């Protein structure tokens, strides 16, 4: 297995992995599967915006897991924070692939100067929570019953990993007119 950047020809495998999570798990809170063109567009947009989409490829160079990060929220003040996702093909779970993808994704985030990574995980997904715990993520919030899937309410747990100890960047927020006239 090797970790590499996703390519357009990985879209079918990525869609299959993602759709398995949509249909069978609470890892994704969508109800409808996506098609291959959807994942192709998603991958192109994400990479064009400068965000990684990486895959774990088997000996035949087929994607058996993928990971990515993107904007935490759409406002400028959150530009140093990202939210990430890691998905592993069902038959590959429990073999350390999620850990390997997380290691690579965290390394990419640090190299890109990301300050904080956030994970939003369904509270019952103890395997994912344990994986994040091993990397030093800490629970910073819990939102009860904010989602629904499989005819039940879902609780969302937020975990956070601070990647560096950098001071806040200077000059990033202009003062408001009220502050200037005060």
Q: Which domains does the chain have, with CATH numbers?
A: 2-165 (3.40.630.30)
Q: Is the pTM of this model over 0.75?
A: yes
Which residue numbers in the chain have pLDDT < 70?
Answer: 171-182
* Beta-strand pair 63-71/53-57: antiparallel
Looking at residue 172, its pLDDT comes to 57
Using DSSP's 3-state secondary structure scheme, residue 111 falls into: helix
- Residue 85's closest CA among 128, 47, 127, 49? 128
Looking at residue 100, its pLDDT comes to 97
* Contact (Cβ atoms closer than 8 angstroms) between residue 10 and residue 63: yes
Using DSSP's 3-state secondary structure scheme, residue 45 falls into: helix
Q: Tokens representing 54? A: 């990486």
Looking at residue 181, its pLDDT comes to 36
* Contact (Cβ atoms closer than 8 angstroms) between residue 33 and residue 19: yes
Exposure on the CB side of residue 97, measured as CA atoms within 13 A: 23
Please say whether the dihedral angle defined by the alpha carbons of residues 53, 163, 29 and 94, taken in this order, is positive or negative. Answer: positive
Looking at residue 178, its pLDDT comes to 37
Phi and psi torsions of 98, nearest 5°: -60, -40
Looking at residue 180, its pLDDT comes to 38
Q: Tokens representing 90? A: 């069902």
Looking at residue 1, its pLDDT comes to 86
* Contact (Cβ atoms closer than 8 angstroms) between residue 123 and residue 157: yes
Q: Tokens representing 158? A: 């937020």
CA-based angle 51:54:57, to the nearest 5? 170
Looking at residue 51, its pLDDT comes to 97
Q: Which residue has the tokens 């599967």?
A: 33
- Residue 82's closest CA among 70, 94, 91, 90? 70
Looking at residue 168, its pLDDT comes to 87
End-to-end CA distance of the chain: 60
* Contact (Cβ atoms closer than 8 angstroms) between residue 140 and residue 160: yes
């Amino acid at each position: 297995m090797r970790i590499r950047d996703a390519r357009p020809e990985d879209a079918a495998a990525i869609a299959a992995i993602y759709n398995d999570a949509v249909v069978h798990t609470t890892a994704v809170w969508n109800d409808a599967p996506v098609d291959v063109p959807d994942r192709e567009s998603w991958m192109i947009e994400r990479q064009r915006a400068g965000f990684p989409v990486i895959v774990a490829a088997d000996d035949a160079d087929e994607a058996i897991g993928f990971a990515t990060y993107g904007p935490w929220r759409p406002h400028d003040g959150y530009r140093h924070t990202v939210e990430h996702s890691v998905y592993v093909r069902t038959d590959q779970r429990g073999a350390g692939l999620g850990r390997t993808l997380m290691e690579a994704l965290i390394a990419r985030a640090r190299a890109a100067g990301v300050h904080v990574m956030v994970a939003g995980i369904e509270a019952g997904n103890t395997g994912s929570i344990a994986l994040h715990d091993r990397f030093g993520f800490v629970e910073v919030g819990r939102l009860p019953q904010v989602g629904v899937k499989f005819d039940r309410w879902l609780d969302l747990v937020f975990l956070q990993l601070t990647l560096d100890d950098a001071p806040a960047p200077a000059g990033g927020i202009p003062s408001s007119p009220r502050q200037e006239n005060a």
